[in-house]
Amino acid sequence: MPESTPVNRDLFDDVMVPNYAPSKVIPVRGEGSRIWDQQNNEYIDFAGGIAVNCLGHCHPALVNALTVQGNKIWHLSNTMTNEPALRLAKKMCDATFAEKVYFANSGGEANEAALKLARRWALDNHGEEKSHIIAFKQGFHGRTFFTVTVGGQPAYSDGFGPKPGDVFHAEYNNLDSLKALISEKTCAVVMEPLQGEGGIISPTDEFVKGVRALCDENNALLVFDEVQTGVGRLGSLYAYMDLGVTPDILTTAKALGGGFPIGAMITTTDIAKHLKIGTHGSTYGGNPLACAVAEAAFDTVNTAEVLDGIISKSKLFVDALNQINDKYNVFEEIRGKGMLIGAALTEKYKGRAKEILLAAMDEGVMTLIAGANVCRFAPSLVVPDEDIKQGMAAFEKAVAKIAAN
């Protein structure tokens, strides 16, 4: 590359596959919930790298784990196991319903493993007929071809040729629609215990418990995709812990690595045994560097100090959004749980969530959207209260601009 080639947003259009439309802002440094761009403009980060940076940027415990492990050993492949992976897996088993862990590198891959395991479990135990997978409309489970097919958004799965078969979609929070699809042929029901990408939709108590009961009646596995909700996001270590329902398989990624790519599928010994030697795998999955960082993130999040703080911080966001709404009347509903909050736009502002996001960026606060009609906040679980106040003041300015025209 010639010395003189400027590294800016234009270069993206020159050299990158055009499947993303990134912001014009190019961040170069972060600390806690603050980010600085190439021009040294400062931003407050309520996007958290899409619910990934659970401890903000450059958290000392994560930087330490990364540098300590970085000076020991980075990668081995699964022909050998390693200490960080074993320690992390043990901690995950101790803290959850699970007895066995499979490491992947992303949420989509963790789900891919869960789906393949469910199919194999059903084949071994019940035969070829039991191959149906039921998921929910508006659900999101990743971008591999199997997971995007299981996801409930045809816009993401259409246009790539024939899809993996025997995948069906029920309506979220509608037990009757699940009842109409589920049968002895169902091998798994896959759900998010709060739909994230689909618009920040919480399940009703009746629904989650009803899904569990229907799975039991039909000998189907219940798979919770906790890629977005897991590792403290909703205020408990995993969302299932607060719902009175235990899944058979759970997937976790995003916040698990606090910013380092890692994913995991966790399950019971009895189910896990169906992924026999050679049935599935990954070159990088369970890589020592990733597991060392994830272990530090897991240890830090799984403390009363961090988890208890989420409730009060969540309330600061919700109160600020309600106050903004009292003035500008742009939101129909403020919803979500813990540090995953959605503000759904009223009819008048429908389709304008991205505009608000861009206006907020101009005011110095990074946010997310969940579809065209929902502003989404997925900040660090330890975002300082002062940053919440300043960030929401900046967000209010953005809303004021949109409301004015």
Ligand X SMILES: *Cc1c(COP(=O)(O)O)cnc(C)c1O
Question: Which spans of this chain sit near ligand X (rule: CB under 6 A)?
Answer: 106-108, 111, 140-142, 192, 196-197, 225, 227-228, 253-254
Closest distance of CB 196 from ligand X, Å? 5
How do 365-366 and 340-345 pair as beta strands?
unpaired
Tell me how far, at minimum, the Cβ of 254 lies from ligand X, in Å.
Answer: 6
Residue pair 31/60 in contact by the 8 Å Cβ criterion? no
User: Containing H/E element for 89?
Assistant: helix 83-95
Shortest Cβ distance from residue 129 to ligand X (Å)?
28
Residue whose Cβ sits closest to ligand X: 107
The least CB distance from residue 263 to ligand X, in Å, is 6
At its nearest, how many Å lie between ligand X and the CB of residue 191? Answer: 10
CA-based torsion, 332, 242, 49, 252: positive or negative = negative
Closest contact distance (angstroms) between CB of 399 and ligand X is 25
H-state helical runs in 96-144: 107-126
Which tokens belong to 266? 């966790």
Helix (H) or strand (E) holding 250: strand 249-252
Q: How far is the CB of 243 from ligand X (least distance, A)?
A: 15
Our CB check for ligand X shows the closer of 218 and 287 to be 287
Return the number of the residue (140 or 349) whose C-beta is nearest ligand X: 140
Nearer to ligand X among residue 131 and residue 228 (C-beta): 228
Least Cβ distance, residue 19 to ligand X (angstroms): 13
When the beta carbons of 324 and 366 are compared against ligand X, the nearer one is 366
**Six token digits for residue 130:** 């039991």
Which residues are paired to 200 by β-bridges?
none
- Residue 196 or 288 with smaller CB distance to ligand X: 196
Residue 62 CB-half CA count within 13 A: 23
CB contact set of 395 (below 8 Å; sequence gap of 6+): 46, 320, 324, 360, 363, 365, 367
CA end-to-end distance (rounded Å), the chain: 44
Q: Which is nearer to ligand X, 45 or 225 (CB)?
A: 225
Nearest-angstrom CA–CA distance, 54 and 231: 8
Helix (H) or strand (E) run with residue 136 in it? strand 132-136
Residue closer to ligand X, measured from CB, 84 or 261 = 261
Whole-number Cα distances in Å, 299 to 117, 183, 232:
28, 40, 11
The bridge status of strand 221-225 relative to strand 249-252 is parallel
d(CA 359, CA 50): 18
Give the position of tokens 């990668």.
Answer: 75
**Smaller CB separation from ligand X, 69 or 106:** 106
